[in-house]
Amino acid sequence: MSVAPAEQLTTTGWPWRPGNAFELLDGAAVFFPRMLAAIAAARTHVLLEMYLMSSGRIASAFIEALGAARARGVRCCAVIDGFGALGLAAGDRRRLEAAGVELRVFNPLHWRNRLRNFLRDHRKLLEVDGAVAFVGGAGISDEFAPGPDGWRELMLEIRGPVVADWQRAFARTWRRLGPELALPEVRAAALPGGARGRLSLSEAREHSVLANGVVRRIDTAQRRVWLVSAYFVPSRRFRKALRRAARRGVDVRLLMPSARTDHPWVRQAARRFYGRMLRNGVRIYEYQPRVLHAKMIVCDEWLSLGSSNLDRWSFRWNLEANQEVADARVTDAAAALFAADLAVSAALSRRHWPQRGRLDRLRERIAGALDRWLEGWRRPP
């Protein structure tokens, strides 16, 4: 398989690892049972880094699984975010600690932190025994529970040498919050005929390596750029890259949330950019059945899937984690899921977009003003 030219240009600080197996897990009815089964089979360690964790049926299942693993002598380490885990009841935290789970909280909220309160660990990672990892956008919360109203989400199950890199990435976050993780690193053997993959992380910097890599991929795409994002307020550079790709004949499609979203003002802030992109040949769809929360981009035979919404807020304020894959089999599977979601989405019309209602335009202007105001904030050092 040939690798896109951008592979030489995109430097994330993590090497490409050959010989991996990547499986797209389509929906909570698939990925939650897989994640819980991996914890149930753990022999040495379980590492969990999770932004959104709220008390409920899903959280209880994970707490019980972690407690059972500890009872077998498995070391369990969890990093939860100080804001994203506000919905986790004190009783559930005590259950984790009483079971022997090592729990650390990233950036607990405090009024003295001021703007630092916006610095969040938005990653979603589960790694077990150095053998398997799960990366994506789903939180441990009942919003993602299987069923017709559960939020639309994807996760990626990962096996092979790149799993050891996910353990190293977790260890870096762990070290920021206390003593070293001190776990032996076991790198799995390369799988024959396996796919190439590498980590792409954002460390809440002004110039995100993750963002730079995605823009370069868009700039070198020759066939397709298919992007799904729950909260998409892209930078000018990102928007220009999408428009350039569409003008040179690349099939550029964006799958965005409909009015069924948990952050309607973010959606309105994004919609103010739609007109110009539509005029330049970008095709935009709004997902109709339920809340869209997935985050994925496919450029030719390259895939990036993880926690990042690929917007300015994510890159400036959040720790994000995506898995990159360079493999036609994986990207074609991702494209098939994307196409299935397009079939239940509404396509926006370039012709009719200027005729949308005045109230919609007003909301877009207000949301845009708020976005520009937030953009003026500078992340504290």
pLDDT digits (tens, 9 = 90+) for 210-261: 778 889 999 999 999 999 999 888 888 899 999 999 999 999 999 999 999 9
DSSP state of 165: H
Residue that has been written with the tokens 């196409």 in this structure: 339
Q: 179 pLDDT band (50/70/90 cuts)?
A: very high
Asked if 300 contacts 250 with a C-beta cutoff of 8 angstroms, the reply is no
Residues 23 and 138 grouped into a single domain = yes
Question: CA–CA separation, 340 vs 333, rounded Å?
Answer: 11
Q: Does residue 244 belong to any structural domain of this protein?
A: yes
Asked if 325 contacts 195 with a C-beta cutoff of 8 angstroms, the reply is yes
pLDDT at 1: 35
Question: CA–CA separation, 356 vs 349, rounded Å?
Answer: 10
Ramachandran class of 325: left when φ > 0, alpha when ψ lies in -120 to 50, beta otherwise? beta
Question: Length of the chain, please?
Answer: 381
Residues 139 and 204 grouped into a single domain = no
Asked if 109 contacts 83 with a C-beta cutoff of 8 angstroms, the reply is yes
Residues 156 and 210 grouped into a single domain = no
pLDDT at 156: 98
Residues 158 and 70 grouped into a single domain = yes
Residues 215 and 159 grouped into a single domain = no
For residue 374, CA distances in Å to 107, 265, 269, 370 come to 20, 13, 12, 6
Q: At what angle do helices 236-247 and 209-220 cross, to 10 degrees?
A: 10
Residues 168 and 269 grouped into a single domain = no
Domain end position, chosen among 152, 168, 193: 193
Domain end position, chosen among 170, 193, 216: 193
Residues spanned by the domain of 122: 12-193
Q: Is 180 exposed, middle or buried (0-12, 13-18, 19+ CB in 10 A)?
A: exposed
Residue that has been written with the tokens 């993880």 in this structure: 306
Domain end position, chosen among 167, 193, 219: 193
Give mean pLDDT, residues 264-281: 89
User: Which of residues 218 and 205 earns the better pLDDT score?
Assistant: 218
Q: Does residue 1 belong to any structural domain of this protein?
A: no
Give mean pLDDT, residues 15-23: 97
Cα end-to-end distance, the chain, whole Å: 43
Question: CA–CA separation, 57 vs 44, rounded Å?
Answer: 26
Name the domain count of the chain. Answer: 2
b/e per residue 165-176 (b: at least 16 CB within 10 A)? bbbebbbebbee
pLDDT at 268: 86
Q: What torsion, rounded to 10 degrees, do the Cα atoms 69, 70, 74, 77 define?
A: 100
Q: Does residue 354 belong to any structural domain of this protein?
A: yes
Residues 304 and 381 grouped into a single domain = yes
Residues 173 and 320 grouped into a single domain = no
For residue 71, CA distances in Å to 64, 98, 129, 170, 178 come to 10, 11, 16, 23, 24
Residues 323 and 338 grouped into a single domain = yes
Residues 54 and 178 grouped into a single domain = yes
User: Which of residues 5 and 122 earns the better pLDDT score?
Assistant: 122
Residues 287 and 145 grouped into a single domain = no
pLDDT digits (tens, 9 = 90+) for 295-353: 999 999 999 999 988 777 777 778 999 999 999 999 999 999 999 999 999 999 988 88
Q: 9 pLDDT band (50/70/90 cuts)?
A: very low
Asked if 115 contacts 127 with a C-beta cutoff of 8 angstroms, the reply is no
Residues 175 and 247 grouped into a single domain = no
For residue 360, CA distances in Å to 266, 363, 365 come to 13, 5, 9
pLDDT at 361: 74
User: Which of residues 119 and 48 earns the better pLDDT score?
Assistant: 48
User: Which tokens belong to 265?
Assistant: 């003002």
Kindly give, in sequence order, each residue whose CB lies less than 8 Å from that of residue 351, ignoring residues fewer than 6 positions away.
none
Q: 380 pLDDT band (50/70/90 cuts)?
A: low
CATH number, position 67: 3.30.870.10
pLDDT reading at 141 higher than 90: yes
Helix (H, G, I), strand (E, B) or coil at 298: strand
Q: Does residue 3 belong to any structural domain of this protein?
A: no
Q: What residues pair up with 203 in beta bridges, in sequence order? A: 319
User: Which tokens belong to 171?
Assistant: 């260890």
